[in-house]
Structure 1
Amino acid sequence: MANEDLLIRKRSAIKAKLTNFCNHVNVLMSCDSLSSLQRIELEGRLRKFDALYDEFDNLQLEIEVLSDKPDEAYGERAKFEERYHAVAAQARSLLISADAGVDGGSVAGSADKSTALVTVVSTRGEKFDARILLDNGSTANFITETLCHKLGLPRRNVNSTISGESYEMAKRRFLSLERRFLRDPSFKERYVAFMEEYERLGHMTENPTSRKPHSGDDIEYFLPHHGVIRESSSTTKLRAVFDASAATTSGVSFNQIQMVGPTIQEDLLSILLRFRQYKYVISGDIARMYRAVAVTPSQRPLQQIIFRTDPKLPLKTYCLNTVTYGTASAPYLATKCLVSLANVATSPTVKSSIERDFYIDDYLSGGNSVSGVVEMVKEVISVLASANFHIRKWQSNSSSILDQVCDSSTVVDCLRLSEDKNASSKTLGLRWVCEADYLAFSISIDDKKQVSKRQILSVISQIFDPLGLVGPCVVEAKIVMQKLWLDKCDWDEQVPESICHFWSNFVNTLPSLNNLRIPRWVVCDNAILHEIHVFTDASERAFGCCVYLR
């Protein structure tokens, strides 16, 4: 642990050098033009800066091997790489402009108090006059389509190509992963089993020929990957996570060239509110949902990975053939395919259920009769199976429904309604205990010795309470955070003694919510009239409301 702490301190020194270089580049970016001395100084600093990444990479590899929390270590790498490549690109752009003797942003004149005429330079070195709107209160930048086209500016999520080399970056990350394999044989066994299943199911294919050196005409991208362990999972204890946000040598990642797509499913709150109105309910999730959707072969070179089962073997490259978890477009592509299946359904009830009762791959639906729910679910299963979507992990508050729609091997006794099932932990998570048919909370929180603003925010962000059932408790933590902002506390400094004492009491009493039991079904049989009563209140520190159904 001491060795790891020393490496982390050395890494902090490297990050400080990165910050210093960023500040220097930002100063130069604000200049009308670079003088000869500024250009010479920038060239010298950039040469030293290029070597900084190798220094960081060597340290980071050691940290990733030693770390008990590799996911956090990989996150630190991703942040550094994104910042490093961005500022390096800015510095090179400044040098290109200086070498061309171009003044890319000088004001040529002004037409009136609110606009100015400026000269801007395209990527081809051509100069254009443009009028800009002067508004120091603006929080966004806009450019007309015509000027964007003239300047040849790259547009995010429009250009479908990726430049730069990614193989060496992915190779370094994989060699780091192999060092963890040596340290943790059990982790390696699970990881290799996962990847072998991936290949056996046809979800990835080994490239038949050895890889040639990257050329500028190649369209390829190699995804780094690492493992996430979820002991609480009833199916996959370990899964590989692919990092499509890792930048190539050009500073561009695969995720940056993808369109994310709109949200086409209903929000979780709406689904849960309907879920609480049915007398009989059922839930399940789609097995390997993303991997049930194939990617067109021409796009698969953008989803390549490096892997081997033993360090003695040569490195192999594979293409991922299906939609991949970790890519920006994956949620939209998978959910769009799912929702489109509603058009196949012959029953309006089934059509509505497919369109409205899925949250990503989780299915939560129900009805007011056993026969009605069974009939609907059987057709949902049939429609989804036609597209290779198979529902598993069935839960229901009625054993009769489960007996008729699935076999006992696909049944579990509790549903965790967590928004991110791949998260390693949740401080406070909502769950449904199906046999007793009530909602409860599962709380796990570490009482750390040093309490900082960063740690408090981390705890708050992990609280998952979409229905606001424990809002009066959670708001206390938010009020603490509010006070820390008002007191201008730094992120990593120890909070004042009074707040530290309050936070300690809060952490110690929060697990008492584990005893809370809330009936899932909020209505009753033979109801003639439903009334909604809403109460609200506010103070200087917080406001809230409570809704009762009568």
Structure 2
Amino acid sequence: MLAGENEVNVSKVDQSKSDKTDILLELKEQRDVVIEKLNRFINFIKRANESDLLELESRLDHVSSIFNHFEQVQSRIESLEKCTTNSEYRETFENSFFKAQAGAKNKIVEFHSNIQARITASHNRTETGRFRATLPVREGVGDLGNSKMNAIKRFHKLESKLINDTVIRQQYSEFMREYEKLGHMTKVPTWATEVDGKGVFYLPHHGVVKDSATTKLRVVFDASAKIGNGISLNDTLMVGPTIQEDLFAIIIRFRQHNVAMVADIEKMYRQVEIVEEQRDLQRIMWRSDPNLPLEVYTLNTVTYGTAPASFIAIRCLHQLALENSKKYPVASQLFDPLGLVGSVIVKAKVIMEKLWQHKVDWDQIAPSPIISEFIHLQRELPILATIKIPRQITVPKANVIEIHTFSDASTIAYGACSYLRTVDNSGQCSVRLICAKSRVAPLKVVTLPRLELNAALLATNLTAKLMEAFTCRISNIFYYTDSTIVLWWLNTEPALLKTFVANRVADIQGKSKIENWQHVKSEHNAADIISRGSPPSQLVECDM
């Protein structure tokens, strides 16, 4: 197992103790607990198998947060002892952790590559051109047990609810009738329904009512439902990597062109068939009327709710694009997590951090100053509706396209913002804000130069993400910081720097050209408003 759920929090050390020795003892006890958890993580990586890697991937962020607690505790110990040997101890352990973390990520990448190759190799087409895929069953999966009784029990509960609601019952029956009419599910012959165990699994199902113009009710098939032996269908299937692009990349491209198109694929998952020999893994129980016999059906297509459904469907889309790349060389995709009002979000994040500092529980009244600050921000939020942001960020037929990214930090937050500068043949120039990113400064005392370095790393990662999203050729990239210390660090070999700085400098050097980093005066730094936060009334007046 990975590190436990109970995180150590340096803020919980009893600061009222007058004896420094007592505080140090308590801090060191906390440090020992954290180190034990992190050592378990390091050892876990060394022996991780396929099933372990799935857990590992879901817990990497959690493990990183535990490591951050180690840094907090160790920094507090160092400040109390004023001793350099402790700092060396921390750097030694940091190197072990980062090496293990990098190893874990490499294993996960390799694992995902193997899954993708395995699923991709099984794809083929039907006579009508429809994709047919194989469910990626884990190796060593044996008898799946008796899932039929659980499915029957769940169906009877569902049926009793449908009897009492004629509207929902009608919609449910219509949904299933259409499912069968389209060939997406098929009735299983009576003689074949006796087969159970290996290669057979019955999925319970229920309805989800959605307030939508197109669909009022959707039937959901529960592939995570566990049966008597504690196994669900999803437990036996590999997930596959996330290959669909996030909304950030999609909306960046949406802002790139003169004309943008939006499209929707009807019943996307159900456009892909499952090979016939695996359809018994997707059996269900159904009847439209309690007076009719209970029938067994197989779901013949990729089923929403199964672990690999998203990967299989998206992979088929990629394959379709690949096969038609010569015929249709450009395909548009499509939405705002761009941080365009990031300075206002920083104000909200700072309020949340103050609540945490004051240890205010969810059902407690916050201190008056925090309440006043929140009310003031809340009253100004409607002002954001007056902000108009141009969708397109380029001039037509641009021959110069540059990304300019600024970074800045304050004692409360740090952030970065990117602009696109485009110029056409006639010299017409446009500079538009693309996106921004912010982080609240940690509660532990961190020097301003280190926060500025964090901002520079954030700027580098933000720009790298933009480069992945843009489909146009970028002429040049420029980075700006008002910290001369950061610029000196970036021009220094990481081996000569302390671990905290060295790790981040190495990351920045690997993702950007250092000669593209420039100094900007604080009053001209576009990221200043993000690092300090601003109410909506100030943001609307900002000409950056």
Give the structure-2-normalised TM-score. 0.49
Of Structure 1 and Structure 2, the greater helix share is in 2
